[in-house]
Structure 1
């Protein structure tokens, strides 16, 4: 019997009511499932991404004695926390402490007329009064450093009838016939990577010092300086990571202008505090998320343990001798979504 047909008697009416009741229950279940799925999607998209550890959760690497000690102290000493509506008071004398930490320079002002304005008798100095304290900024100073090497002549030696000259050794310049010295390069790199000042804006800084440095020259100097001084350190850190027994690894998207791709990636590796001899944080740039980057960085012969997330690129197909550990935060997400 279809829904459009009207029941002819009481029995048919009861059957229709039962069918409609089952249909409503089924629809309510579907609605509840859809609400749960909607809440989950809203949570994924709009909720905070911070997955902080509950302070009550103990570390997996703590021994049993530490756990017993924590439990005993927590049972014996119970502190009651009361909520306060008043904001926390600021620390006193913070400004004074900050100013005391700077080099001090006194500036004194004296009277022009050292006679009493009433009786016109000479005044006697009894001390001085602190009126104000303020920090002073000295702008960057530019000067030309001329490097000379002293030359000596031997009066006894005359090779080929000429004079024997001996010149003192001097440090080599960073770049020959260039405005970019070591201090200039350090300033350029600090402005660019610490203060996020683009090269084209830095041109005005050097123009004020009467140095003609354009953005292209600064970029080339940073690249050459990095290859010359930082690349050996970069390779040393990478070699040390390959010797570690445990390595944490993850990748994060990074947009690079004029790369031709919507996303590039920074591959980040970190040695753990518990097992590593050296605390190393290593960043490797790659324009792709391919698992080949993992074997390129760690090499296919790496035999340690790699702590990672559930990305399929971390597999024994790339590192056949490695052991892969799962991130507890990512495992926790699966239980939350159940």
Structure 2
């Protein structure tokens, strides 16, 4: 091999290795970005709120970092953010005692002098009431109590019918029990459900509370109350609510993973899903229905919404594509989440420009929506076309 051939071979080898190094650097960069993203999702703050940084260009609430003049001209001028009015800063309303107490029953306790004390210690004349002054308000806690209500039904008879051998025995109407052959009442079952599902009090702790109040109830009994009343009383209500929900023109839907322990045929580590279907914020009837499913298949949404013919507002999950005969609307909050996920730790670098701009545009849209909140549907549509379409 002559000298020129050797040099050419070495140059080709160097060029090939440089390309390999550059490719590996790009792969390493992407891997580091993925690692940073996963660390942020796992350990980072959960809120998607963004704050402005001093000395940087701000659209709505997000800064677009002025890294240097060249990068600004190269990136930000192409995107051409549209101007908008700065949002009015709202201060927190002051605490008002009357507002806090307006729904509570009120009673006055007036401290008075005894009759024997209503004598002037100076000249012995009788004291008369001049008035009263307010000193303070106190909150009084009345502990819960339970009692046994024994239900009787009186029986009446007609004497003449009896003499003439006609049916003459009459009974008054008596409401059916909440559950047959059970001590359960509407109040006791409602309290059990409230404690369990609103206050997150487990049944074993409720069991102890019932025992302390003098009426021992096992957690198995409490569980039966919840299940049986749901099947006999609440499911028919939910079905009626679903009928009304599907009559709406606009609906929202979403699904979130849940973990169910000791479910037949599934490991405890397997994900199940809770689906939620809701009317819009401006609906005259606020309805939200939660539906449990063992999986995330779009068939769940298709089956639930099979009689719906309006506008369905969801994220970009492809499963909602199985819902037929609807107008599918996507969610800007989910779009914004992709931009916030793409924000790097170092906001001063050029990599922050595009995702920060995306967040800024979304914030601008959300700011307009807050301003349009109290408008009618027609007014809101007009303002959206006028203000939001340019964005």
Matched with 2:221 is 217
Contact 1:179 1:211 in 2 (8 A): no
User: Which entry has the higher C-alpha Rg, 1 or 2?
Assistant: 1
Closer, same or farther in 2 for the Cα pair 1:28/1:204, shift >3 Å?
closer
Matched with 2:386 is none
**Does the alignment pair 1:290 with 2:301?**
no
Contact 1:114 1:123 in 2 (8 A): no
Contact 1:114 1:122 in 2 (8 A): no
**1:189 corresponds to which of 188, 193, 197:** 193
Closer, same or farther in 2 for the Cα pair 1:220/1:80, shift >3 Å?
closer
1:91-150 deviations in Å (ceiling 9; x for gaps): 36x346645754113152535963879769466244455554311111123233344434
Report the TM-score when normalising by structure 1.
0.68
Contact 1:99 1:134 in 2 (8 A): no
How far 1:220 sits from its partner (Å)?
Answer: 0.5
Distance 2:101 2:249 in 1: 48
Closer, same or farther in 2 for the Cα pair 1:155/1:132, shift >3 Å?
same
Distance 1:273 1:133 in 2: 37
**1:124 corresponds to which of 127, 148, 152:** 127
Unaligned runs of 5+ in 1: 2-6, 58-70, 82-87
How far 1:185 sits from its partner (Å)?
Answer: 1.0
Matched with 1:104 is 107
Matched with 1:313 is 319
1:184-222 deviations in Å (ceiling 9; x for gaps): 111111111111111111122222332231111111111
Distance 1:118 1:241 in 2: 74
1:5-29 deviations in Å (ceiling 9; x for gaps): xx9xxx99x979x869957983765
How far 1:268 sits from its partner (Å)?
Answer: 1.4
Higher relative contact order, structure no. (Cα contacts within 8 Å, ≥ 6 residues apart): 2
Matched with 1:207 is 211
Distance 2:105 2:329 in 1: 49
Matched with 1:167 is 171
Matched with 2:146 is 142
Contact 1:304 1:323 in 2 (8 A): yes
SS of 1:265 mapped into structure 2: strand
Matches within 5 A, 1:1-338: 26=22, 32-51=29-48, 74=85, 91=94, 94-95=96-97, 98=100, 102-108=105-111, 110=113, 114=117, 121=124, 124-127=127-130, 128=132, 130-158=134-162, 161=165, 164-244=168-248, 246-259=250-263, 260-261=266-267, 262=269, 263-273=271-281, 278-299=285-306, 304-316=310-322, 319=323, 321-322=325-326, 324-332=328-336, 337=342
Contact 2:179 2:229 in 1 (8 A): no
How far 1:231 sits from its partner (Å)?
Answer: 0.5
1:267-325 deviations in Å (ceiling 9; x for gaps): 11223346x674432210012223332333234x7655544334343344xx4545544
- When structure 1 is superposed on structure 2, of 322-331 and 260-269 the one drifting more is 322-331
Contact 2:256 2:274 in 1 (8 A): yes
Task: Count residues in correspondence.
Answer: 301
Contact 1:271 1:279 in 2 (8 A): yes
Contact 2:302 2:320 in 1 (8 A): no
Distance 2:339 2:241 in 1: 37
Distance 1:327 1:178 in 2: 48
Distance 2:278 2:298 in 1: 18
Distance 1:117 1:23 in 2: 106
Return the structure number with greater helix share.
2
